[in-house]
Chains A and B, each alone.
Chain A
Amino acid sequence: MTRLRPFALDRPASLEEVGALLAEHGADAALYAGGTELLLLLKAGLLRVQRLIDLKRVPGLADITADDGTVVLGATARHRTVERSALLRERCPLVAGVARHVANVRVRHVGTVGGNLAFADPHSDLATLFLALDAELTLWSRAGERRVALADFVRGPYETVRRDDEILTGVRLRPWPAGTVSAYLKFGVHERPSLGVALAATIGPDGAVAPARLAVGCVGPRPQRCPEFEREAAGRSVAELAGRAAALAEAAADAVETTGDLHGSADYKRDMTRVFVRRAIEIVAARAAGEDPHARYPYTVVV
């Protein structure tokens, strides 16, 4: 780790000012909020910039607001704020719960939702969970604002569609309707998660699942939804889901793209996907029946 090389710090008070700075300095400037990834890249000497553009003084960028049935998390909202947000606890309880297990308490006090998503480390929880919440990201630039579905936003490890002149301003989540039972499981020995599974089953008045949402993260280059699983699960009762959990999990595992890395081989990750999708189904089924599964597995966080 080398020392930080000198840079200037700009603290614009509006998106327009940020845009102007980006236009003026281009690759010599970097957007900065919590800095939990950026400062490490600068210290490692992997990135050199002349200026940091601090987003934390742009009003409204850190707010968590409800907006016609969706919930919008401002890009500079800190994990700690997400963890304690009453709105999220009420509308997207899983999001508040998962935020509590991001990295460690110090990173949660400083790191932001936008920084996490824009860095797009394949081994992280938020993108996986947000994918199951049909998240849509808002990218602002002087040329205008565009909305990108999270599934299209992340192209691969550390690669997103965000252009250099664009600022990620927020992420819009579509909370699951009332009567949805959900679970997030994260497994791994390392500092960062090796596997993330988000499962949400919305149970209709007739007791049938309509729809189910399943996202799997960390095992491949980007988080992935499991459309086959979701089709198979739709229309079935939760009990039926639990009954066919093994087969459904197997199908989901076969469909995901897994890549080997320091966290494990591709086939191990595929089998862990099978194991934890099944466990997620069992937990969701138990929760649907009003039981507290208080399932505990080694090196696993169940939210």
Chain B
Amino acid sequence: MPDIRTPSSCSLALTVNGRPVTLDVPAHALLLDVLRDRLGLKGAKRSCDIQVCGACTVLVDGAPVSACTYLAVEADGRAVLTVEGLADGERLDPLQEAFIEHGAVQCGFCTSGMLLSAKALLDEDPSPTPERVVQYLRGNLCRCTGYRKLVDAIVACGAARGGTA
């Protein structure tokens, strides 16, 4: 059987952090590798590589996905948001501010995934209860903080966003 040495390549047209991007990728390219190695967006990290830990979370049309196990071709025509796209220039997103304020950042390797999952949660449920945050973060592991400050930061951000600070 022919070993595919010249993989069929697909041309993609998508937006990444609000910017239009067009590039050709082989069919087997993973979104995580395209973001990191082709577009230089190193914020999303490869950790467990099996969709469990969440360190590679990015949003595709607002939905959180595991970029480590998501073919880049699936992002064609869609809007991808990575952590690099959260801030507006130097003005941080409220979640980024809340993470710093509450001490929810330590080694930082899970932080990108946590921020984007939290953003997806707040987009869906503007002021979630701590229990809802804990349930939603089932797919985001952190080995440093013990989660207390992450939950506090997200709940506080939700409350502030929901105007009930």
Q: Is the CB of A104 within 8 A of B139?
A: yes
Q: Is the CB of B27 within 8 A of A52?
A: yes
Interface code A95-138, partner B: CB below 8 Å = 1, 0 otherwise?
A: 00000000111110110000000000000000000000000000
Tell me the smallest distance from the CB of B24 to a CB of chain A, in Å: 13
A36 within 8 A of B: yes
User: How far, in angstroms, from A50 to B3 measured CA to CA in the complex?
Assistant: 7
Q: Is the CB of B66 within 8 A of A110?
A: yes
User: How far, in angstroms, from A297 to B15 measured CA to CA in the complex?
Assistant: 44
Given contacts A6-B5, A50-B2, contact A105 B139 (CB under 8 A): yes
Interface code A77-94, partner B: CB below 8 Å = 1, 0 otherwise?
A: 000100000000000000
Q: Is the CB of A106 within 8 A of B139?
A: yes
Q: How large is the interface on A (under 10, 10 to 19, 20 to 34, 35 or more residues)?
A: 20 to 34
Given contacts A6-B4, A8-B7, A106-B64, contact A40 B27 (CB under 8 A): no
Question: Which residues of B sit under 8 angstroms from A147, Cβ to Cβ?
Answer: none
B112 within 8 A of A: no
User: How far, in angstroms, from A159 to B77 measured CA to CA in the complex?
Assistant: 36
Q: Is the CB of A106 within 8 A of B5?
A: no
Question: Which residues of B sit under 8 angstroms from A109, Cβ to Cβ?
Answer: 63-65
Interface stretch, picked from B45-53, B83-91, B97-105, B148-156, is B45-53
B54 within 8 A of A: yes
Contacts A6-B7, A104-B139, A109-B64 known; 14 new A-B pairs at CB < 8 A: A7-B7, A7-B27, A8-B7, A8-B8, A8-B27, A9-B8, A9-B73, A36-B69, A40-B51, A40-B69, A103-B51, A104-B138, A105-B120, A191-B52
Q: Give the interface of B toward A (CB within 8 A).
A: 1-5, 7-8, 10, 26-28, 30, 49-52, 54, 57, 63-66, 69-71, 73, 117, 120, 136, 138-140
Interface pairs (15), CB distance under 8 Å:
A5-B28, A6-B5, A9-B10, A9-B28, A9-B73, A35-B70, A36-B69, A39-B69, A39-B71, A40-B51, A43-B69, A105-B64, A106-B57, A106-B66, A110-B66
